[in-house]
Amino acid sequence: MPLRLTAEDQQLLDGGSGPGAQMAMRIVVRLAEALEAEQLLTISGAHVDSCLYHGPSTLAFAERLLALGASVKVPTTLNVSSLDLLHPDLFTGDPKEAEQSRLLTECYKGLGGQPTWTCAPYQLDERPGFGQHVAWAESNAIVFANSVLGARTDRYGDFIDICAAITGRAPAAGLHLQENRRARRVFDVSGLPSALLDSDWLFPVLGALVGATTGVQVPVVTGVPGGQPEHRLKSLGAAAASSGGIGMFHMVGSTPEAPTLSEALGGVDPLSTMQVSLTDLNQARASLSTATGLSLSSVCLGTPHYSLDEFAVLVPLLSGRQVHPSVNFLVSTGRGIYHELQLRGWLSTLEAAGVTVVVDTCTYLSPALTGGTGPAMTDSAKWAYYAPSNLGVEVTLASTAECVNSAINGVVTVDESLWANG
């Protein structure tokens, strides 16, 4: 069935709201046709990833929209930049690229985007509610919106995100539609040790396994105690969206569309069920730990941006302690969380310990590793997945506490007991 446009859609497509909106609408319509959508739907907000500089074309596209008079039609938050705009001295890359990145941020502010500069817009004061349609880019944000908030967004990429924001419209396709949100593959973790099931450390590793096994289908995790906190769900989703292409997951008893396994599956039998074992998890963990030996150059946390709950775990681990002088310890977060750290006195505690808090960007994207390209540690499966190719570093994936202890000792220090059989 061909795409049906409303009178308002057609008016945008014909240029009735100006050439900038017309350009954006042409792109939205072409995407809808490619997805075989029958119609467009109205979105209540957008999160734009296009503000991250990936080369001259990214800047040229934004400049073109701005020159044509485009502006966003719905509340629009902006993803990370290539720079820490509050601490530009942290950038160690090409000065020309830094300048292009700054120009790109100005373009997106000029288009009406809110200068939030965070990959975790769900940590802002305002976030979409259950059932609301949005157009979010940035893989971890997409997964969180669909899975944890119960909002509805498909997996939008660069340029599509800003075009949806300008038009206020998106294709009625993908995860916007109920039939595409039911789980297809089951991951049963009920056989894992109770200590592991109650550990933050489980969730990035389980996410890496789920993503690599599921691909682009919707998975459901069962066997984890209900009512899991958001930072654990965030960690699992970010990992799964990196190792795989998922845009949504369910966790029975913890995510809003999975009060029971049957409801998560939509009453349909799954394509497969996997009884997750310690061996499976150890293989997933090993795949993201490329470093060998005890040498350590840096510790990088905050991918996605650390929340207050995560800082509440980190700060006591570092209070009164000192990072080894040979280790560069970086934690990324958003500006709102950074301000709260200042108000609570947590920022001074972290800085006294030798930790640098980075805002506006992410350390696997932006050259901020002043310690060089030696072995790194992280508690983020997403950072561990991307950093080797982006930065050329070897990585050890570990728990937050192990990352801190290693930074203090100056060498990799891990405890394997949680992952041991028997």
Whole-number Å distance between alpha carbons of 395 and 146: 30
How is the beta sheet containing 376-378 ordered, strand by strand?
355-359, 328-333, 298-306, 376-378, 395-397
Amino acid letter for position 106: E
Residue 396 confidence class, pLDDT cut points 50, 70, 90: very high
Secondary structure of residue 312 in the 3-state scheme: helix
DSSP string, 226-275: SS--HHHHHHHHHHHHHHS--S--EETTTSTT-SSHHHHHTTS--SEEEE
Whole-number Å distance between alpha carbons of 255 and 146: 9
Which residue's structure tokens are 């060498």? Answer: 411
Whole-number Å distance between alpha carbons of 261 and 72: 39
- CA dihedral sign of residues 106, 111, 116, 117: negative
**Per-residue model confidence as pLDDT tens digits over 348-373:** 999 999 999 999 999 887 665 555 56
Q: Do 329 and 116 form a contact (C-beta atoms < 8 A)? A: no
**Per-residue model confidence as pLDDT tens digits over 14-33:** 999 999 999 999 999 999 99
Could you give phi then psi for residue 378, rounded to 5 degrees? -155, 155
- Residue 384 pLDDT exceeds 90: yes
- Residue 67 pLDDT exceeds 80: yes
Q: Do 101 and 361 form a contact (C-beta atoms < 8 A)? A: no
Joined together, the tokens standing for residue 76 give: 């629009």
Whole-number Å distance between alpha carbons of 113 and 129: 20
pLDDT of residue 97: 85
Which residue's structure tokens are 């990088």? Answer: 300
pTM reported for the whole predicted model: 0.96
More confident residue, 92 or 172: 172
Q: Which domains occur in the chain, in start order?
A: 7-177 (3.30.499), 182-286 (no CATH), 288-419 (3.30.499.10)
Of 40, 44, 30, the C-alpha closest to 75 is 44
